Structure formats: structure tokens, C-alpha cells
Structure 1
């Protein structure tokens, strides 16, 4: 078993050396990657800072003499990501451990995010008690707060670093005792306002012998699903809740980025897609909604979340975008439209009921979808059981045809 430690040996050599010693005492092989820029390492690493810079397509002397701190950190992160990827592909990496402040947290977690989900990733960081999304992204990075700064060894830092190292030992040297049955895996997307649909679909799929992974469509959820599709973890996609595209288009806070809906299309993964929660854009507290949206229809979901109804023009553009994404699919693809509303709030008597906006979305999809995408329209609401059952039946048919269904 081998653990890679990513860290700046010019400033954190003592602490990294201690982590290495803890791991080696547990009979774990250790490979230290030095990501220092300004100073010399306190001990000889297995991969030097020069080699990290070279892996990023530059030189350490350039980063020292010509780059600012931000560029240097970004570049060393790219190099570290390339190094750990090579080590993993060569079978020389079972887990990654990082130690540091904001700089090396950025570098080490960039490297961690380059690895597949499931590879243990532990980051001991002074930044772990704040907003960790920039470091974790859509990967299974474990952030551990260092409590005190990582500056010298003392009774506190030794205990925290040792705990992190021993946690890594436990992860790489143990398999779960519980029996894990291999089943075809379905990725589903859900929001609070599409929960009934997904709950019923999940129950149906699991009764049929599938395993399900539900992703909360909050930006990171969509990105995580896209990554797992590319990784080959997911065999079929029930992408009911494509709401993240509304945030990407309009400027909400829960965008999954412009690559959302690309992974299944490009990998040929069977997918059944719908338009769940495209009636809304997400913002924070009510006073965080940009002034440019004054006068728009808003719904205060809770003190931290304010929703804004998408309008006719936005829905027309969302329809065009979704059609473009689905038209690129290389595998079986169906799009289902619920004629009676796309979320809990989009039903008669609720705040976001707007048949004209929904019609703009549906019309754009009808206009722009190619014949290669099956378009099915049901006289139901998105949260009706009949709608969920139709989605499940179509996806199951695709997977059976591809030889991916349970028992195939």
C-alpha cells in the first residue's frame, strides 16, 4: 500500500516528515511530492518541485523569478495533479494526504480532484473550517481542520497530523465487511420541488434490481454526476432535474457549469431526461438577489434561499440549450415533458404557475430537437407517479437493449 503526500517541503517539511513517519510505522509505503516554489526542501522528496513544475509545462526558475504567487500556486497544482495521476495509473498510489495553509490546500486538493472518486483523499488544512467548496469541488476530498496553524510540531499538531495519517491507513488497508452486491447503477437528479417524482422512480428502479445514486441538483451535485458518468460508475441516467442550467443561464448561485448534460451524451450512456425545476433560478437570502431582477416573481424558500421564476425569454433559450446538448448524444436518449408543470411551485395556485413560460420552454425543445432524441409528452405533472413510472420504463428498456439491465 502506498500513500502520496503532497506538500511544500520548504515551509512544512517537519510536519510532512512526521506524517511520513507515522505512515511508515504502519508499514505503508510513502511517496512525498514537493510543491515548494520559493525555498529548498527540508528533506529530499521522491518527486522534486522541479519535476512538479515540469509536469505543468514550465520551470521552477520561471515560477520563482517571473510569476506571482497566484500563478505559481495554480501551476504547481496542475503539476501535482499530473504527477498523482501518473502514480495512480502506474499502481503506485492508494491514497493522497495533504498538509498546509491556503496555498498548499489549493495545490494538494487540485491534485486530489484529478483522481477518481473512491481513492482516499485527506487534506489537513487551516482552511477546513470555512467554505471548502473551492477545494472539494465534486470529489470525495476529506477536509480536516488543523485547529492551529501548521507551523512546527507540538502536542496539538502531532495529534491532528497523526489522526489524519492513521485515518488514511485505515482507508487504504481495510475493505468493508458488509456484503456489497454489484448491480447496474442509475444516477438520478433531484431538487426539493421534484422529490416526489424521484422518490417514486428510485423505489421502482430498486425493486427492479438497480442500484441508485441520487444527486442534489445544487451545482456540485450535477458536476459530481457528470464526473461519475465519465468515470464509468453510472450505467444509466434519469436526469429529471435539469434546473442547474437555469442558474447557469440567468446567473443563479447553483450552476453546474456549461458542461452539464455533456457526459452522458459523449459517453453514450443511456439517458432519460426531463425539465424538472427549470422554472426557477436560485439565490441566497432575499437581499442578495441582484437589483437587476427587481420586479421579477420571487419565492422565499427559506431565510437562506430565494427562488426567482424564469420568464418566457429565458425558457425559450433553455429549451434551445437542452436540445443542443441532447442532440449531441451518442447513446439512446429520451426527453419527457410534463404538460401540467415542472415543479411543486409550477402548478395552478402556486407561486411559479406560468403556462406561457412553460410553453416557451416546450416549444423551443420541439423546434430544436433532432429526430435522434425521443420526445415524449405526458398529460401529467412532473411529480405524478405516472410520470415517474414512464421515465423508469423507458430507461429500463434502453438498458435492457444495451445488455445493462439486472440479470443481463
Structure 2
């Protein structure tokens, strides 16, 4: 098979041996290779398919500008802009099927911009010395990125780093061969949720939505799930969204590492996508299970969900802040926006008699939502819990009205 082409990207002045090794492995497996140089100061041993000059010029700059800046960060941002624009154009022209970018922290910074410029479904592999590092914020990660740790790869080839590079080369070529363009024959609805132990509406809604001719994608709102949801919403991939699990907003607000970024709960609204929003797990902050509980949450009830996640209840004041933050984000929406407020709670643990019941905190949150709900948002109050059938039935009633009015 020689019908799939991988774009191999890196600084060929300092990583020439490693990049050529990757290209050779891809070719050994029957793949084709295009090469892109993102160096600034030096040159590759042999010319690449797309030179550093082409990269800089694609972004409206020149290599000399990057050199004259005298600042490696400024220089690499010039190359990041150009490489992202060039990669997007080359993919639109059908010149490659997947991309592999190699780098340390500098190259990874650029790689994230380049991969974000490519559509979902295009295999995107970053081989990096800082893969999985907490220094990489979730908002920089594309929805379908793959990262491989470049072990032992800081300087020169060796048996340790070659093992990583071989796997990366095989992975990106295999992914390119297996990938198929998304051909959607039904309108897609994006939903946020958690597992059925805490939120259950999707069990009722999925078959009902499919019976109405929709495809449903449910995103696990544990940081990266919300990031993928926001990424697709920003690109207009959804016909409508059911953003029922806004917990990542509170996570970010209170400094948890489990964050989907500052723009959580904004991109569907900015794109004018019709959205129904609710309060699933609004009252909980998810923390990395092995991190210490922050002082601001130290006196609150907690639930060890597993060894990875600890859920901590918000105080009444924090719930009021959460309500205001949600309203501020929804106020930016340009499309139809409905906030369903189930008055009896937002997750299975906060029911009357439940493990994390807090009637006072729930009441404070509800009153703050009522007071600050923006004019562009329709507030619908229900005398039920979010996991009750009444909640799902109201969602379908709203969607049926939108379908009848050709909103979706």
C-alpha cells in the first residue's frame, strides 16, 4: 500500500536524524512521506518538501523576521502560525492523510497549533518529550489528538527513543489507512453528561432522539470531553446541543486541574447553535484524586469516585458564584437558548436523603440563577430531579417545537 501520505514535521536543523528515521520507517511500511521544516537558524541535511521559508511566508512573515526578533518564543510563534496555515491548506488540497510532529517543549507548542488547524478525523500524532505533561492546557488540545512520549529523545538517536519513534510511525500510518472522512447522513446533537451512576437522562433521550432522525454524541464532562465538545461546537458541527453537565465550568472557576478551559459553555452560543442547558453536577468540583484538596474546599463534603477523581461539594457561596458564571457565559449566546432548571437537584447524590444532599446550597443556587438569568435565555423550571423522566420529556418537548419551527 502506497496510497497514504504522512506529513512529517519538525526542526530539521536539530532533529534531522530523528525525523529522517521516522520517514524511513513509514516508507518501510509502504507509506508515503511529505516533509515540513520548521527550523529557524539552521538547515536540513537534504531539502524538505516544504521549507522553513515557505512556512514563515504562509503566515505573512519571513525567516529573517524570526531571526531578527532575537527571541526564540517569538520566532517559534511565527513558525507556528505559518505551519498551521500551511498544513491546513495542504490538507484541503489532498496532499496528505495524517500528520506526525516531533519536538520538545518548543516543537510541541507549535505542534498543538498545527494539529488544531486540521479537521477532526485527520490522524494527528505528536511525539514529544513533554507528552501528557500538566503544562499542556486542555484548550490547546484538538478533540482527537494522539500523543506519544518521546522517551530518551532529547538529543540524538538511541535504542530507547527509536522504540518510541517506530511506534509513532506505525501508529500514524495505520490510523491514516483506517480513517474515513465523516459522512453524516443525520443531523448531530452534542450532549454532555457523566456516567449512569450519577446522571441518567441520556438513557431515555438517546433512543428518542434517534427515532427523530438525529445522531447523538455524548461527551464525558471530565475536562478533555468538554474540550472536544467545545471544539466541535466552535466548528458548527452540531445541529443542537444538550449541555446538561456544566461541572467543568465550576472546576475551572475553582482551579481544578480537571478543566475544559475558559471557553467552556460558550462556543455553541457564539456559533448560534440552538442549545438546551441544565445543571447536571453543577454543585460538585472534580479534583484529581491524588491531588490535595484545595483550602477553599477543605471543609466540604467529598466523594471518592475512584482513585482518579474526587468529587467535592461546593459551599452555598460557591454555588452562587457558579450560577452567575453560567449566566455570564450564556448571555453571549446568539442562538436559541433554554435553561431547564430541575428544582429537586442536579445529580443522583444530591437527592433528598442522598450522600451529598444540601438543600440550602441548592436553594441558594436556584435563587441566584433566577436573579441573573440573562434576557436572551428562556428559564424553564421543573418540579423534579434531573434524573426524573419529566426532565427528559421536557427536553424532547422543546426539541419537537424546534423541529416544527425549523429551528433544528
2:385 equivalent among 351, 365, 381: 381
Scaled by the length of structure 2, the TM-score of the pair is: 0.85
1:143 is paired with a residue of what secondary structure?
strand
Return the TM-score normalized by structure 1. 0.85
SS of 2:228 mapped into structure 1: helix
Q: 1: distance between equivalents of 2:256 and 2:400? A: 34
Q: CA deviation at 1:146?
A: 4.7
The CA deviation at 1:65 is 6.2
Name which of 259, 271, 274 aligns with 1:255. 259
> How far apart, in 2, do the equivalents of 1:14 and 1:137 lie?
27
CA distance 1:158–1:287, shift in 2 (3 Å) = closer
Gaps of 5+ in 2: none
Structure 1 counterpart of 2:284, from 280, 284, 290:
280
Give the structure 1 partner of residue 345 of structure 2.
Answer: 341
What is the count of residue pairs matched by the alignment?
A: 403
The answer to whether the 8 Å contact 2:224/2:260 transfers is: yes
Q: 1:370 to 1:176 in 2, by over 3 A?
A: closer
Residue in 1 that maps onto 2:301? 297
Are 1:36 and 2:39 matched, yes or no? yes
Q: Deviations over 1:65-99 (max 9, x none)?
A: 65455555455333322221232344434321223
1:121 aligns with 2:109: no
Quote the Cα distance in structure 2 between the aligned partners of 1:185 and 1:394: 17
Q: How far apart are residue 56 of structure 1 and its match?
A: 5.1
For 1:300-315, list aligned pairs within 5 A: 300-315=304-319
Question: Displacement, 1:51?
Answer: 3.7
Kindly state the Cα deviation for residue 290 of structure 1 after the two structures are TM-superposed.
Answer: 2.0
In the alignment, which of 143, 163, 169 is matched to residue 139 of structure 1?
A: 143
Cα distance per residue 1:152-195 (max 9 Å; x no partner): 56777667645544544444455669x97722211111124643
Kept after mapping to 1: 8 A contact 2:122/2:179: no
Please tell me the root mean square deviation across aligned C-alpha atoms, in Å.
3.3
In structure 1, what is the Cα distance between the partners aligned to 2:376 and 2:129? 51
**Shift in Å at residue 337 of structure 1?**
0.6
CA distance in 2, matches of 1:318, 1:129: 29
Change (3 A) 1:206 1:287: same
Summarize the Cα distance change of 1:150–1:309 in structure 2 as closer, same or farther, 3 Å threshold. Answer: closer
User: How far has the Cα of 1:336 moved from its partner?
Assistant: 0.5
